[in-house]
Amino acid sequence: MKLVILGAPGAGKGTQAEQLEAYLRVPTISTGMMVRKAIREQTEFGKLSKAYIDDGQLVPDDAMIKVLDERLRKKDCRHGFILDGYPRTVHQAKDLENKGIIIDKVLSVEVPDELIVERLSGRLECGNCGASYHVKYRAPMEEGICDVCDSPLIRRDDDIPEIILKRLAAYHEKTAPLKEYYAKQGKLCVAEGQGDIKDTINEVFKVLELGVTD
């Protein structure tokens, strides 16, 4: 399965990807996590990306495409993958096709803009494995500690209201057109994501025709 997850910032792409990864047994590739890791490690790509991510803008296509290409060449992608946050522009989507990478399904998780700021203001993320938590909707078992890998949970630098609004604007301008792009190919599966996490997971499995979750 080669699956793409689309959705506004905070729509729940990462949260849904965790469930889908366990079910589909293919790796999740989160380009946002890759960018943050590169910034922490101060690679050339990280240094280039920092100004964009700090300002809520997308990283330029050419640089993002190069990094993604390297990741997709790794062995664990042989039997498929889940792309969380890629492609994010029509140019990135066309580039995948030009390289013969055919996506099977595209999941769009839909959440109204009004809910996004509240969601992201309460988000906590594992600095190590990237697992996503929420102070109200998905609290970790032990405060401040990741359930999966016991690492400390952090707040992301781009989860402040001013930057969240810029990320939302970038989503509507550059990424939302991908819905029509993939709908025309008959690949778009739309899930409402404003319910609670469990309801949304059930909805996602239903629209992707994957069977039951528990």
For the annotated catalytic residues, the residue numbers are: 13, 88, 123, 156, 167
| 14 touching Mg ion, by CB under 5 A | yes
Of the listed pieces 39-47, 134-142, 182-190, 203-211, which binds ligand AP5 according to CB under 6 A?
A: 134-142
Residue 58 CB, nearest approach to ligand AP5 (Å): 4
Tell the burial category of 81 from Cβ atoms under 10 Å away from its Cβ (0-12, 13-18, 19+).
buried
**56 binds Mg ion, rule: CB under 5 A:** no
CB-CB neighbours of 142 under 10 Å: 10
CB neighbours of 186 closer than 8 A, spacing ≥ 6?
Answer: none
Distance CA 181, CA 178 (A): 5
Structural Rg of the chain based on CA atoms: 16
How many whole angstroms separate alpha carbon 42 and alpha carbon 172? 29
Binds 200: which of ligand AP5, Mg ion, none (CB < 5-8 Å by kind): ligand AP5
Verify binding: residue 134, ligand AP5, rule CB under 6 A. Answer: yes
Among 24, 58, 107, 153, binds ligand AP5 (CB under 6 A): 58
Name the amino acid, one letter, at 2: K
Told to check if 9 binds Mg ion by CB under 5 A, we report no
Query: How many residues form the binding site for ligand AP5 (CB under 6 A)?
Result: 36
Minimal CA–CA distance to 85: which of 44, 130, 118?
130
**3, 26, 81, 123: which one binds ligand AP5 (CB under 6 A):** 123
Q: Fill in the per-residue mask, 1 to 20: x = in contact with ligand AP5 (CB under 6 A), - = not in contact.
A: ------x-xxxxxxx-----
> By C-beta, is 26 or 46 nearer to ligand AP5?
46
Alpha helices, H only, the chain: 13-24, 31-40, 44-54, 61-72, 90-98, 113-121, 161-170, 177-184, 197-207
Q: How far is the CB of 17 from ligand AP5 (least distance, A)?
A: 7
CB-CB neighbours of 108 under 10 Å? 23
For ligand AP5, the binding residues (CB under 6 A) are 7, 9-15, 31-32, 35, 52-53, 57-59, 64, 85-86, 88, 92, 119-120, 122-123, 132-134, 137-138, 167, 193, 195-197, 200
Residues that bind Mg ion (CB under 5 A): 14
